[in-house]
Amino acid sequence: MQVDAAEFENLKREFLRQMPGFRSFAEAGAAYVETERRSKDELVALVRAALLPRLTAPAATPAQAREVCAALYQVMQREALPSSGRPQNLVGWRSW
């Protein structure tokens, strides 16, 4: 695969235009955190809260395995995140 360096620079310029203050992912700036990062961190927290209590040991029965799958499905099926009301963008409406 060959990368078109000029097109890559165009994409980089556009990203930086939309994300003022971005220096690196360690110094991402407020626009990046608000636009891209915060909702993903919230979704990670929701998945952890839903799944970790159920994953302390392997499922002993098919019913327990179904419970884990149902908990994950419930989080991924959320249309909006609780804190912001923004849509979660990892699983789209077509998967429902």
pLDDT value, residue 11: 97
Residue 4, CA distances (Å) to 8, 14, 15, 16, 18 in order: 6, 16, 16, 18, 21
Please give, one letter per residue, the 3-state secondary structure of 2-60: CCCHHHHHHHHHHHHHHCCCCCCCCCCHHHHHHHHHHHHHHHHHHHHHHHHHHCCCCCC
pLDDT value, residue 7: 97
pLDDT per residue as tens digits for the range 19-55: 999 999 999 999 999 888 888 888 889 889 988 888 8
pLDDT value, residue 94: 64
Q: What is the mean pLDDT of the chain?
A: 87
Strand partners, 73: none
